[in-house]
Amino acid sequence: MLPRIYEKSPAELVQWCQEQGLPTYRAGQIQQQIFPNRATQFGEMTNLPAKLRELLAATFTLLPSEVVAHQIAKDRTEKLLLQLHDGSLVECVLMREDDRRTICISTQVGCGMGCVFCASGLLGLKRNLTTGEILEQVLRLDRLLPADEKLTNVVVMGMGEPLANLKNLLPALDRLTADDGLGLGARRITVSTVGLPEKIRELAQTGHQFNLAVSLHAPEAELRTKLVPVNKNIGIEAVLEAADDYFAITGRRVSYEYVLLGGINDLPEHARQLGHLLKSRIAHVNLIPMNGVKELPFAEPSAPQTGEFVAILESFGVPVTVRKRKGADIDAACGQLRMKREQQNLVVLKAGPQP
């Protein structure tokens, strides 16, 4: 399989042009076509000589994965299921709201964190995505927009634990923030994590002011370990201390993601415990009513229960918002579309060839 051209850094692309006997400015022209110009194949790069276009097509790929599913919701949320060269499936989402165009991208095939309410981890972790596979999601979603619209925000909250694949994620984010990439400000990029303390500190040391979203989901250790099994070896205090360090180093307020599971972690006592944890911190809570997945035994909370949870947090002076459900009429839950496709493939394999 030929490599994706954007797996080369700008400096490496300049070097490649030099090795081919090309003027170095060609590297900038190629970058222009990949990112702001949204080329979908090398033949569209008509500002380049025909021979160079042929050379690029013989040496690199641009969008090699296959779109095996493309769902569009009534609210114009779009979800892609991409099949990679090894048959692995990953999801990515484009969300539209007023003047914002936000995408959600994945960093792993599956997830190894084991959160009991998340469809992404039901099939386990298969592997990390490469930098190119992460970037291809961005490029494909960007190309769903009309010419007069641009991506405004990126959230790394799709399949997988982003900080477990920081080695491949950071170069991808560098391309998104670069002037010769998408030119996004770091503050328009949010990286989610279940809470890996040393990786949180590593992200803080990059010098970028990315937003950090910590998936907390419970206000005390025993319940969090039931919902987020990796908490057993980490602990809430270690996660909060790392998040405090992130704020101290970057100056960026940390968001705490909290999936509300009806009757499990959405009681008034849980809200009070969470309020005590965060009242002295520069923090924001993002409440996420459970997005139903038929394979999981959890239900979304009632609206009054959610409202009471919000009111209690606000009484502690903790800023809180309730995330709007996007793409409710499609397989919107993270990992849900991939899981459905994998199950279909498994049924076909079990059935075997038909006479």
The catalytic residue positions are 91, 334
Residue 203 CA to residue 173 CA, distance in Å, equals: 11
Q: How many helices (H) and strands (E) does the chain have?
A: 11, 12
* Contact yes or no for 180/212 (Cβ under 8 A): no
Strand partners, 47: none
Distance (Å) of CA 25 to CA 18, 96, 157: 10, 35, 36
Q: In terms of residues, how long is the chain?
A: 355
Distance (Å) of CA 166 to CA 77, 173, 191, 339, 349: 27, 10, 10, 24, 35
Q: Where are the beta strands (DSSP E) in the chain?
A: 66-72, 78-83, 89-97, 100-104, 108-110, 125-128, 153-156, 189-193, 211-215, 254-260, 283-289, 320-322
| Angle (nearest 5°) at CA 21 between 18 and 23 | 65
Q: Which amino acid is at 197?
A: P
Provide the b/e sequence for 167-178 (b: ≥16 CB within 10 Å).
Answer: ebbbbbbbbbbe
* Contact yes or no for 337/83 (Cβ under 8 A): no
Kindly tell me the burial class for residue 62, based on how many C-beta atoms sit within 10 Å of its own C-beta (0-12, 13-18, 19 or more): buried
* Contact yes or no for 301/86 (Cβ under 8 A): no
